[in-house]
Chains A and B, each alone.
Chain A
Amino acid sequence: MSRTPLPYNPKVLDLFRNPKNLGKMEDATVMAVAGNPACGDMVTFFLKISDQEIIEKATFESYGCAANIATSSIVTEMIKGLTLKSAWEDITWTKVTAEVGGLPTIKFHCGVLAVGALKRAIRLFYEKKGTAPTWLPKDHTFEEKQALEEEELARRLSKRLNTGEEK
């Protein structure tokens, strides 16, 4: 095991310094959260979805590192104007990672989490609607599974902490 100084590339740094589509959206059609403060990364996506199921606008908030901020920011840009179907099918963590110009390996999970939150938001939209399109798989995608795993790890950590002595 070794540590590197997290060699973020200029694009990640730029997105970290000037994130796009930042902040809560008051009139969002749907919002979804992924991650947990205990794992150090947590992201919320707010989507405004038209009747034609096109993402008109997307914003985000991130309690996370520069990698999580940059990938979340780029996701909001990548999905704008997409139908929910193509957002679901086209946006993967590998694409997002490539779009920010690559990430240090130990930061891959931050990009995975951003996509996990997006997929959760899309699923939630159809859950609220009460119908699911045929293209939406019943099984969780890789990103959703990863988000769930991270949250489970965090829950276990917090539980272990809470059972400890009161201080």
Chain B
Amino acid sequence: MVENVRELLKLHEGIKHEVYLDNENSSVVPIHVLNAMLPYYNKKAYGNPTLTHKPGWEAFTAIMESSQKISAFIGAQVLEEVTFVPGETEANNLALVGAALAARDKGKKIVISEIEPLSIMNVTTDLMKKYGYTTTKVPVNSEGILDLEKLKESIDKETVLVSVALVNNEIGVIQPIKEIVEIIKDKNPSTLFHTDASDAYGRVPFNVHNLRVDMATISSYKISGPRGVGALYTREGVNVEKILEGQIGTQKLWPGIENTPLIVGFTKASELMFDNFEANVNHMRTMRDKLVDGIFAKVGDVKFNGPKGDKRAPDNANISFLRCEGEALTIELSLSGVYVSSGSACSRRLLQPSHVLIAIGRRYSEAHGSILMKVTPYHTEEDITHVLTVLPTAVERIRKIVGSTGVD
């Protein structure tokens, strides 16, 4: 199988300009971040931060400094409120499973939105179901904004936890978190609120303390940091159980030896986002708008998924290309050096459309032709121009294969 993939890669030889827009699924790590990480592998702080020697104490200091910086970026008040974990999936698992189990005597009901990322969706519908918890999914409107009336109705005295992502990972919709928290706490003050803020962090300003959220997930690679690290914020006093057991480290909620270089890299990537926050956001918005406007000007039969303007994160573009199958388009674009992902994934018999696009009322064929693109502060005008040169041709070729088949 890997032979085939090698052959596929050979077809990409000679590509002169590459543009990576699949920042939903991984990212290019900028050199400043790599340079910040490198010494932590072999020059300093390579020890276990719980141990009594210089490399251990150095590691301890590095982790505490990182913790301090990230706390400041998200508005955490106490250092211990930030737990470094291997990523968004782990943070979401820790938040949902850990908080729900800790509150098991109060009830077994969880509430989420219909458009949560899969690390929320699958944890509640599969894992928590095994523990006897039930999950209510609150619908969203055509822009992806949570139905607050339905949210209110769904909470009762047995609801232990609500989780709604601050920014949706697929359509970039920004939820009214402040109102959501008020509704929840009014209805049941002991219900905990978690938000997956991975797609907000570094792009949409928020302050966990002011928003009164109990738990929040952030992830490194979503801001061009290294993969394999993220963090969970847990407000002081919120009861969360550990979900893994092992060697006790510096962090109460996550066992094992801390990954200092990754934590340092995550912090450096965060600094690069936050130190020039306004400029970065403006740049991303400009690049994203240029991309979207260009596509709408050059390609017909396209639909924009999710809200526009202030209700949307500045980096996110999600477009359905009608009469165009998504996977075929991703391959075609890859052969021209443009890397994106499609909203659908092939299962054994059927293409599974994105649950987010279906929840906002998109048809299956619209979901299958959807492409998700996320820009970063590191994309240039030239990158976007390149995409706009390549993409119309790619769509045209795939549409030629489609002809009038599948046009409904």
Name A's B-contacting residues (CB within 8 A): 3-10, 13, 16-17, 19, 22-24, 33, 35-44, 61-66, 69, 104, 106-107, 109, 149-150, 153-154, 157-158, 161, 164-167
- A35, A37, A44, A69: which contacts B364 (Cβ < 8 A)? A37
State whether B11 touches A150 (Cβ < 8 A).
no
State whether A19 touches B351 (Cβ < 8 A).
no
- Shortest C-beta distance, A117 to chain B (Å), equals 10
B368 CB within 8 Å of chain A: yes
State whether A161 touches B358 (Cβ < 8 A).
yes
State whether A38 touches B4 (Cβ < 8 A).
no
**Of residues B8, B331, B401, which shows the largest number of chain A Cβ atoms within 10 Å of its Cβ?**
B401
Q: Which residues on the A side are within 8 Å of B400 (C-beta)?
A: 22-23
State whether A33 touches B405 (Cβ < 8 A).
yes
State whether B402 touches A4 (Cβ < 8 A).
no
State whether B405 touches A40 (Cβ < 8 A).
no
Closest to B348 in A: A106
State whether B331 touches A16 (Cβ < 8 A).
yes
Q: Which residues on the A side are within 8 Å of B364 (C-beta)?
A: 37-38, 40, 154, 157-158, 161
Name B's A-contacting residues (CB within 8 A): 1-2, 4-5, 7-8, 11, 139, 141-142, 323, 325, 327-328, 331, 335, 344-351, 353, 358, 360-361, 363-365, 368, 400-408
- Shortest C-beta distance, A116 to chain B (Å), equals 13
State whether A3 touches B325 (Cβ < 8 A).
no
Please name 4 further chain A to chain B contacts, defined as beta carbons within 8 Å, in addition to the given A13-B8, A41-B325, sorted by A numbering. Answer: A37-B406, A63-B325, A63-B406, A65-B346
Q: Which residues on the A side are within 8 Å of B325 (C-beta)?
A: 40-41, 63-65
- Decide: A153 near B349, CB < 8 A? Known: A37-B408, A66-B331, A161-B363: yes
- Decide: A3 near B403, CB < 8 A? Known: A13-B8, A66-B331, A154-B350: no
Closest to A101 in B: B4
What are 21 A-B contacts defined by CB distance under 8 Å? A4-B1, A6-B346, A7-B5, A7-B8, A8-B331, A19-B401, A37-B368, A38-B363, A38-B364, A39-B350, A40-B368, A43-B405, A44-B405, A61-B401, A63-B405, A65-B327, A69-B401, A150-B349, A150-B350, A154-B350, A165-B139
Nearest 9 pairs between A and B by C-beta? Answer: A40-B351, A63-B406, A167-B361, A61-B403, A37-B365, A38-B364, A7-B4, A61-B405, A42-B406
CA distance A123 to B291 in the complex (A): 48
State whether A62 touches B402 (Cβ < 8 A).
yes
CA distance A6 to B364 in the complex (A): 22
Q: Which residues on the B side are within 8 Å of A161 (C-beta)?
A: 358, 363-364
State whether B4 touches A153 (Cβ < 8 A).
no
- B4, B348, B368: which contacts A10 (Cβ < 8 A)? B4
Closest to B322 in A: A37
Q: Which residues on the A side are within 8 Å of B407 (C-beta)?
A: 63
CA distance A167 to B360 in the complex (A): 7
CA distance A10 to B335 in the complex (A): 13
CA distance A66 to B347 in the complex (A): 15
CA distance A166 to B141 in the complex (A): 10
State whether A5 touches B350 (Cβ < 8 A).
no
State whether A42 touches B346 (Cβ < 8 A).
no
- Shortest C-beta distance, B395 to chain A (Å), equals 13
Closest to A46 in B: B403
- Shortest C-beta distance, B14 to chain A (Å), equals 15
Q: Which residues on the A side are within 8 Å of B358 (C-beta)?
A: 161
State whether A106 touches B328 (Cβ < 8 A).
no
Closest to B143 in A: A167
CA distance A38 to B139 in the complex (A): 22
CA distance A2 to B365 in the complex (A): 25
State whether B348 touches A39 (Cβ < 8 A).
no
**Of residues B141, B331, B344, B345, which shows the largest number of chain A Cβ atoms within 10 Å of its Cβ?**
B331
CA distance A157 to B325 in the complex (A): 18
Q: Which residues on the B side are within 8 Å of A63 (C-beta)?
A: 323, 325, 365, 402, 405-407
- Decide: A44 near B8, CB < 8 A? Known: A7-B2, A63-B323, A167-B360: no
State whether B7 touches A64 (Cβ < 8 A).
no
Closest to A110 in B: B346
Closest to B140 in A: A167
Q: Which residues on the A side are within 8 Å of B349 (C-beta)?
A: 39, 109, 149-150, 153
